[in-house]
């Protein structure tokens, strides 16, 4: 079983959207039982709240279901999850600071590192001065931002699954 945690700031927009996109892809690829997903936030402002209504409505129109309640990342998450995927560089930095040790910090990656189109033509990642790997926060913008988030996280989640090399019915 590969366990993946998606993390944004408040766990009401981007990370629940990524979680829902991954759930759909896992089901479409027949990988239920091989991949477990969850989401959380680095901040505590929205703990216990449902996902943002605009994110939920946009996701519903695209065939995704956002459910669950916002929660904050905990120390146990670094033990429980194999891969902790941050939505942006700020979230990744916060997660690395929260990590209890170097091995745990090594589980933190930017989600869009797995999206081939997010790397610039020279093959350089954002960390190497290349493409932008942040999933932009749509919270203070219009509905088009929520649409863009779905497109970005879906493409990146496909890349995550491809990188795991799992086949339907296999367990890792």
The predicted-structure confidence for 34-62, as pLDDT tens digits, reads as follows 999 999 999 999 999 999 999 999 999 99
Coil, helix or strand at residue 43: coil
pTM of the model: 0.91
Instruction: Establish whether 137 is a catalytic residue.
Output: yes
List phi, psi (to 5°) of 135. Answer: -90, 110
Distance of CA 165 to the CA centre of its chain: 18
- What pLDDT shows up at residue 142? 86
The tens digit of pLDDT for each residue in 98-112 reads 999 999 999 999 999
Q: Which two tokens stand for residue 150?
A: 């779905």
Q: Which long-range contacts (CB under 8 A, 24 or more apart) does 117-123 make?
A: 117/155, 118/155, 118/156
Instruction: Establish whether 112 is a catalytic residue.
Output: no
Q: Is residue 121 scored above 50 in pLDDT?
A: no
Closest to 139 (Cα-Cα) out of 148, 130, 152: 148
Catalytic residue among 13, 14, 77, 88: 14
Neighbours of 69 (CB within 10 A): 13
Catalytic residue among 8, 38, 71, 94: 8
| Under 8 Å between Cβ of 165 and 2 | no
Catalytic residue among 38, 88, 134, 137: 137
Instruction: Establish whether 77 is a catalytic residue.
Output: no
């Amino acid at each position: 079983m590969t366990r993946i945690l998606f993390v944004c700031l408040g766990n009401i927009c981007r990370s629940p959207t990524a979680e829902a996109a991954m759930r759909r892809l896992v089901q479409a690829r027949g990988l239920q039982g091989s991949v477990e997903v969850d989401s959380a936030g680095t901040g505590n402002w929205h703990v216990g709240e449902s996902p943002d209504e605009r994110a939920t409505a946009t996701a519903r129109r695209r065939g995704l279901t956002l459910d669950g309640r916002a929660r904050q990342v905990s120390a146990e998450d670094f033990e429980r999850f194999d891969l902790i995927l941050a939505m942006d560089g700020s979230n990744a930095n916060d997660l690395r600071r929260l990590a209890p040790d170097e091995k745990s910090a090594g589980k933190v990656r930017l989600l869009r590192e797995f999206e081939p189109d997010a790397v610039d033509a020279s093959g350089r990642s954002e960390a190497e001065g290349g493409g932008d790997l942040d999933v932009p926060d749509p919270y203070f913008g219009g509905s088009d931002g929520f649409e863009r988030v779905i497109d970005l996280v879906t493409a990146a989640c496909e890349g995550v699954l491809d990188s795991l090399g799992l086949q339907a019915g296999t367990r890792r």
